[in-house]
A and B are shown apart, each in its own frame.
Chain A
Amino acid sequence: GAVVSQHPSWVICKSGTSVKIECRSLDFQATTMFWYRQFPKQSLMLMATSNEGSKATYEQGVEKDKFLINHASLTLSTLTVTSAHPEDSSFYICSASLGNAALVYEQYFGPGTRLTVT
């Protein structure tokens, strides 16, 4: 149980175009989803926290107009990279938080999406 999927797993786009990445919790409802960015051989950097039905909370230094996050349902959050540039090329990972009666708030991670902007 508690599987998180991402689509696509790999995308190449031209500079100036926009690309949407989906994050889905397959077998549970996630009240909170998180979006991370991971550069090669580096750690995960949190970009934003997304709660269903409300605006995302962005980390300092992350442009909210460039990285649009929508969390329309308890099982789906999307990250849209607008007007992508080569420096946006990275590995984008989402996680979904499962809160339960034990208040464990486990976070489950998706497999990631590799974005290459040419």
Chain B
Amino acid sequence: AQRVTQPEKLLSVFKGAPVELKCNYSYSGSPELFWYVQYSRQRLQLLLRHISRESIKGFTADLNKGETSFHLKKPFAQEEDSAMYYCALREYSSASKIIFGSGTRLSIRP
């Protein structure tokens, strides 16, 4: 079954501390992995995708096929990072549906 698991509903860290939001997936095909972010009272927006291998707002995520994980990391958290983060996947390079994880609320304490 296709599934995205985010084990933490809430993650609270101090400003300047490292952040890691966990994401594990199960998928029988060749998946494309994403992280989406939803800031307070704003629409869902793409943060990064694994095929881009880029760092957005200081966040990175590496696809580990062996561990079927796609954890989101940032070395030094900032207050503006407080938001809801969703890990998601879909069939690689297709217009097919995206499957979302349950989301993790990241709260950065000053």
Binding site for B on A (CB under 8 A): 31-32, 34, 42-46, 49, 93, 95, 97, 99, 103-107, 109-112
Write 23 A-B pairs (CB below 8 A) sorted by A numbering. A31-B95, A32-B95, A34-B97, A43-B86, A43-B102, A43-B103, A44-B44, A45-B100, A46-B97, A46-B100, A49-B96, A95-B44, A99-B95, A104-B93, A105-B93, A105-B94, A105-B95, A106-B46, A107-B98, A109-B43, A109-B45, A110-B43, A112-B43
Name the prevailing secondary structure of the B interface residues: loop
For B94, the chain A residues whose CB sits under 8 A away are 105
Name the distance in Å between B105's Cβ and chain A's nearest Cβ: 8
Chain A: interface secondary structure?
A: strand
Q: What is the number of contacts between chain A and chain B, taking CB atoms within 8 Å?
A: 42
User: A34 and B44 in contact (CB under 8 A), knowing A43-B103, A105-B93?
Assistant: no
Q: Which residue of the partner chain A has the closest CB to B86?
A: A43
Chain B contact residue count (CB 8 A cutoff) = 17
List residues of chain B with CB within 8 A of the CB of A93: 43-44
B residues less than 8 Å from A49 (CB atoms)? 96-97
Instruction: A32 to B97: give the CA distance in the assembly, Å.
Output: 10
Mark out the residues of chain B between 82 and 110 whose CB falls within 8 Å of any chain A CB in the assembled complex.
86, 93-103
Residue of A nearest to B91 (CB): A105
A46 touches B99 (CB 8 A): yes
In chain A, what residue has the closest Cβ to B101? Answer: A43
